[in-house]
């Protein structure tokens, strides 16, 4: 039996229960992982509350898609990963099928990466989702090149902070946008070329000023909702507005018509595009691992909780004061 976080109905953080559950044996193509640290993501708060892009299929439901630990056992057909190896689990599966908020969890081997030397469990649970999402959206999908200007909305999010590093490594200039004045210095320190404190208000004019009226070739947005019309005004002709989250919780209009049909590309993006395509994932893994080796990339960890305090950790996640990743450790 292993401690596992489950919930029996959707709702706020207090629906989460720490229960003793049989983790089962790894089947073909699966691994049993001894979990040391778990990276918390907004997707889990949404899944738990029944507002995620994918509804909960059955109760009790499990949670969690990002973790670090050690391989305990490998199922049939798994190659290249063996018991004792330090690994990270990345989001490449549905939480209706697997969940890593546990001391031990079965996961698909296709969602498991070697943990680079020198990366501890907390870092190994915090680094992949942000950097893979940022690389996937900006480089793999957006084709970001040296000299581009990119706007990063919700820049203090774990993905936003990774995107600052990914832009710098590609030779692009990042304009970070935050609602919160207190986060400005942290974003400058994180390497953003410019920081706009929006206070939740329109930012397009300021972005146009900073780009000599041109706008940005890529705008990466996790907020969506009515604010996309303003953000779309800041996209350079032929540039792309990439929507990868819906933090606003409000309906999102299509800005192309509102703005008189400019040459605007607008695209939704999920990291699963990358993590479920082995060839693209290998390229992304190499990019992130090389950034980690040189020190250009590093996990940004805001706060570490104990798995036993998962309710409190989810409350903290939803309060939105963090700068970087929230991690829960199992004490293994």
Ligand X SMILES: NC(=O)c1ccc[n+]([C@@H]2O[C@H](COP(=O)([O-])OP(=O)(O)OC[C@H]3O[C@@H](n4cnc5c(N)ncnc54)[C@H](OP(=O)(O)O)[C@@H]3O)[C@@H](O)[C@H]2O)c1
- The contact set with ligand X (CB under 6 A) reads 41-43, 129, 133, 154, 156-159, 178-180, 183, 222-223, 244-245, 247-248, 269-271, 317, 320, 322
Q: Is 199 helix (H, G, I), strand (E, B) or coil?
A: coil
Q: Of 74 and 300, which CB lies nearer to ligand X in the complex structure?
A: 300
Length of the chain: 332
Q: CB 167 → ligand X: shortest distance, Å?
A: 16
Residue with Cβ nearer ligand X (71 or 144): 144
What minimum distance in Å lies between the beta carbon of 254 and ligand X? 18
For the bound state, the minimum distance from the C-beta of residue 129 to ligand X, rounded and expressed in Å, comes to 6
* Pairing mode of beta strands 67-74, 30-40: antiparallel
Q: In angstroms, give the least distance from the CB of 190 to ligand X.
A: 12
* In the complex, minimum distance from the CB of residue 196 to ligand X, in angstroms, rounded to a whole number: 11
* Least separation in angstroms between CB 59 and ligand X: 22
- Number of helices (H), then strands (E), belonging to the chain: the values are 11, 16
Q: To the nearest whole angstrom, how small is the minimum distance from the Cβ of residue 132 to ligand X?
A: 8
Query: Which is nearest to 46 in space by CA: 314, 326, 325, 322?
Result: 314
Q: Nearer to ligand X by C-beta: 178 or 240?
A: 178
Is 127 in contact with 288 (CB distance < 8 Å)?
yes
Q: Which is nearer to ligand X, 103 or 165 (CB)?
A: 165
Given a contact cutoff of 8 angstroms between Cβ atoms, the answer to whether 110 and 29 are in contact is yes
The smaller minimum CB distance to ligand X, of residues 19 and 273, is found at 273
> What's the first-to-final CA gap in the chain, in angstroms?
15
Q: Smaller CB distance to ligand X: residue 237 or 249?
A: 249
Residue nearest to ligand X (CB): 245
Check if the beta carbon of residue 259 is closer than 8 Å to that of residue 270: no
Strand ranges (E), the chain: 2-7, 16-21, 30-40, 61-62, 67-74, 86-89, 104-108, 112-114, 149-153, 173-178, 194-197, 216-221, 235-243, 265-268, 301-306, 325-329
CB of 96 to ligand X, least distance (A): 17
Residue 21: strand pairing partners: 2
Residue 168 sits at φ, ψ, to 5 deg, of -60, -45
Q: Which is nearer to ligand X, 87 or 154 (CB)?
A: 154
Crossing angle of the two packed helices 278-294 and 128-135, in degrees rounded to 10 = 110
39: closest CA among 6, 20, 64? 64
The smaller minimum CB distance to ligand X, of residues 104 and 322, is found at 322
């Amino acid at each position: 039996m292993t401690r596992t976080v489950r919930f029996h109905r959707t709702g706020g953080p207090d629906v989460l229960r720490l229960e003793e559950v049989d983790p089962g044996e790894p089947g073909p193509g699966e691994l049993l992982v001894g979990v040391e640290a778990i990276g918390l993501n907004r997707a889990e708060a949404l899944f738990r509350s029944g507002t995620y892009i994918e509804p909960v299929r059955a109760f009790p439901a499990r949670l969690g898609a990002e973790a670090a630990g050690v391989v305990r056992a490998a199922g049939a057909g798994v190659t290249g990963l063996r018991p004792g190896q330090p690994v990270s689990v990345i989001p490449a599966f549905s939480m209706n099928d697997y969940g890593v908020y546990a001391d031990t969890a079965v996961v698909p081997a296709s969602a498991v990466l070697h943990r680079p030397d020198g990366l501890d469990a907390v870092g190994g649970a915090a680094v992949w989702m942000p950097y893979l999402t940022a690389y996937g959206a900006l480089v793999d999908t957006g084709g970001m090149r040296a000299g581009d200007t990119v706007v990063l909305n919700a820049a203090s999010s774990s993905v936003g902070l990774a995107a600052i590093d990914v832009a710098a490594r590609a030779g692009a200039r990042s304009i970070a946008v935050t609602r919160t004045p207190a986060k400005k210095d942290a974003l400058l320190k994180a390497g953003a070329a410019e920081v706009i404190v929006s206070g939740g208000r329109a930012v397009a004019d300021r972005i146009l000023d900073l780009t000599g009226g041109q706008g940005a070739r890529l705008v990466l947005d996790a907020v969506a909702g009515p604010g996309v019309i303003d953000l779309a005004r800041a996209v350079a002709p032929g540039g792309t507005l990439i929507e990868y989250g819906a933090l606003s919780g409000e309906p999102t209009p299509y800005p192309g018509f509102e703005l008189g049909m400019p040459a605007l590309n607008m695209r939704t993006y999920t990291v699963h595009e990358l993590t479920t395509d082995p060839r693209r994932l290998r390229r992304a893994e190499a990019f992130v691992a090389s950034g980690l080796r040189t020190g250009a990339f590093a996990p940004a960890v805001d706060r570490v909780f104990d798995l036993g305090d998962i309710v409190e950790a989810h409350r903290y996640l939803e309060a939105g004061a963090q700068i970087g990743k929230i991690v829960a450790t199992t004490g293994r």
